């Protein structure tokens, strides 16, 4: 690990790491990095998918490209400081908001305006001196939930994040859908209200413009955490509406939903989402589709970023639904 990158300050002070006592064991680890509109997090993820150290800071609001980078450098350094003698970093895996160019060479997260065409992968590779792999944060979550979470054992599902923004990753036949430029799964830009609000992508009525934390706050004048029961019901309904279209389009029967908004709203949100999904997905192959909470909790994004890193260095993860023969590795 290089001690500094050109042009960086020391970055903000990070919160204390949440660690697992097993981190003292000699082991190979992936440096996992999660980049979101609300927080920047980094941690160490072992081969079993356990987060053995983690730290985070708030994403600097209104910061330019350099300010955001300095904050990320600080949190990465804090995570690396948790390494103990005998432990070894083998890769850096990153989950970040999109859209992005192939391999995450340049990222332009809609909920981080300070980064447009930011060379994230090369900057992190130079900082860490590690093989560095970048993917969409919701696709990373899909890897995590298929590996260790609510979608374990399923070969056909969508994993979603409903938080500051809304994103998704789709697994079909046990393989991650990538798309032409690696941006497949952007369920946040499925239109759920044709005459709806202006979205950050430039369209109107996208799920992200109607049901994300930022959208709810803009529509109600209050933080999403204080949303009324009607606002919670509406957000769940719109998520269920989007999932119904995806279930019928892609012939999948499971949606796993994470993110501070969805998990914070809890049971009423998921009840509204399931009701709308059941009302609208009426084809014989989609009418039994389910929408359920993610299981990995607050460390899910780091498990996902770790999975991106392990996959990048060719270390196989169990394929969703794979038997004991260990058939091909990770959904790719």
CA distances from 296 to 150, 269, 301 (A): 8, 18, 8
Residue 28 has pLDDT above 80, yes or no: yes
pLDDT level of residue 14 (50, 70, 90 thresholds): very low
317 assigned to some structural domain: no
* 97 inside domain: yes
Overall number of domains in the chain: 2
More confident residue, 24 or 83: 83
Cα 101 to Cα 105, 106, 300, 327, distances in angstroms? 6, 5, 24, 30
Q: Are residues 125 and 169 in the same domain?
A: no
Q: Residues 106, 184: one domain? A: no
Instruction: Indicate whether 2 pLDDT > 80.
Output: no
Domain carrying residue 105: 21-136
CA 7 to CA 1: how far, in whole Å?
16
Task: Please indicate, yes or no, whether residues 165 and 287 belong to a single structural domain of this protein.
Answer: yes
Q: What percentage of the chain has pLDDT greater than the value 70?
A: 88
130 and 155, same domain (yes or no)? no
Q: In the chain, which ranges are continuous DSSP H helix?
A: 65-80, 120-128, 137-148, 207-211, 213-220, 229-250, 260-265, 267-280, 300-312
The average pLDDT across 63-70 equals 96
Are 288 and 156 part of one and the same domain?
Answer: yes
Lowest mean pLDDT among 25-39, 79-93, 228-242, 258-272: 25-39
In this prediction, residue 20 has a pLDDT band, given cuts at 50, 70 and 90, of very low
Contact between residue 148 and residue 296 where contact means Cβ atoms under 8 Å apart: yes
Whether residue 324 has pLDDT greater than 70: no
Residue 120: predicted pLDDT = 97
DSSP 68-87: HHHHHHHHHHHHHTT--TT-
Q: Has residue 12 got a pLDDT over 90?
A: no
Assess whether 201 and 270 both reside in one domain. yes
Stretch among 5-14, 69-78, 210-219, 316-325 having the lowest mean pLDDT: 5-14
Residues 131 and 156 placed together within one structural domain of the fold: no
Per-residue confidence (pLDDT) for residue 297, from 0 to 100: 87
Residue 173, classed as helix, strand or coil, is coil
Region 278-301 average pLDDT: 95
In a domain, 12, yes or no: no
What pLDDT was estimated at residue 317? 74
What is the average pLDDT across 259-274? 97
Counting every residue written for the chain, the total comes to 332
Question: Which pLDDT tens digit goes with each residue over 179-234?
Answer: 998 889 999 999 999 999 999 999 999 999 999 999 999 999 999 999 999 999 99
Q: What is the mean pLDDT of residues 231-243?
A: 98
Same domain, 223 and 184: yes
- Kindly list the distances between the CA atom of residue 294 and the CA atoms of 58, 96, 276, 297, in Å, as whole numbers in the listed order: 23, 18, 19, 7
Q: Could you say which of 95, 113, 136 is where a domain stops? A: 136
pLDDT, position 319: 52
Q: What is the CATH number of the domain that holds 71?
A: 3.30.420.40
Residue 105 is assigned to a structural domain of this protein: yes
Full-model pTM: 0.84
Do 253 and 184 belong together in one domain? Answer: yes
Pull the structure tokens for residue 193. Answer: 């209200």
Q: Pick from 77, 111, 136: which residue ends a domain? A: 136
> What percent of the chain is predicted at pLDDT more than 90?
79
Residues 278-282 have a mean pLDDT of 97
Is residue 133 within 8 A of residue 36, CB to CB? The reply is no
| Residues 161 and 212 placed together within one structural domain of the fold | yes
Q: Are residues 31 and 112 in the same domain?
A: yes
Q: Mind listing the pLDDT tens digit for each residue in 118-175?
A: 999 999 999 999 999 999 999 999 999 999 999 999 999 999 999 989 999 999 999 9
Confidence of residue 318 (pLDDT cuts 50, 70, 90): low
Per-residue confidence (pLDDT) for residue 182, from 0 to 100:
87
- Same domain as 176, residue 275: yes
> What is the pLDDT of the chain when averaged over all its residues?
88
Cα gap 27→86, rounded to integer Å: 7
In-domain check, residue 13: no
Q: What is the pLDDT averaged over residues 239-244?
A: 98
């Amino acid at each position: 690990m290089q001690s500094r990158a050109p042009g960086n300050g020391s970055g903000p002070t990070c919160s204390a790491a949440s660690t697992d006592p097993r981190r003292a064991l000699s082991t190979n680890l992936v440096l996992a990095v999660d980049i979101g509109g609300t927080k920047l997090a980094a941690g160490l993820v072992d081969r079993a998918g356990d987060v053995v150290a983690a730290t985070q800071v708030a994403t600097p609001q209104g910061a330019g490209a350099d300010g955001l980078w300095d904050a990320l450098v600080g949190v990465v350094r804090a995570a690396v400081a948790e390494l103990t003698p005998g432990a070894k970093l083998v890769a850096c895996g990153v989950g970040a908001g999109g859209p992005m160019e192939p391999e995450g060479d340049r990222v332009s997260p809609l909920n981080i305006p300070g980064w447009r065409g930011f060379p994230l992968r090369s900057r992190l590779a130079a900082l860490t001196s590690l093989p560095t792999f970048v993917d969409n944060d919701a696709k990373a979550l899909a890897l995590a939930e298929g590996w260790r979470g609510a979608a374990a054992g399923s070969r056909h599902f969508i994993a979603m994040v409903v938080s500051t923004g809304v994103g998704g990753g789709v697994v079909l036949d046990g393989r991650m859908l990538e798309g032409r430029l690696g941006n497949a799964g952007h369920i946040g830009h499925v239109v759920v209200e044709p005459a709806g609000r202006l979205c950050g992508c430039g369209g109107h009525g996208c799920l992200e413009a109607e049901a994300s934390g930022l959208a709810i706050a803009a529509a109600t004048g209050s933080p999403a955490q204080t949303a009324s029961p009607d606002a919670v019901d509406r957000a769940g309904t719109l998520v269920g509406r989007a999932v119904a279209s995806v279930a019928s389009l892609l012939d999948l029967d499971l949606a796993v939903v994470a993110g501070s908004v969805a998990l914070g709203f809890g049971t009423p949100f998921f009840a509204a989402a399931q009701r709308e999904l059941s009302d609208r997905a009426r084809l014989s192959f989609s009418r039994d589709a389910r929408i359920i909470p993610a299981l990995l909790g607050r460390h899910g994004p780091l498990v996902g970023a770790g999975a991106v890193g392990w996959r990048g260095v060719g270390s196989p993860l169990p394929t969703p639904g794979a038997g004991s023969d260990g058939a091909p590795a990770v959904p790719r």
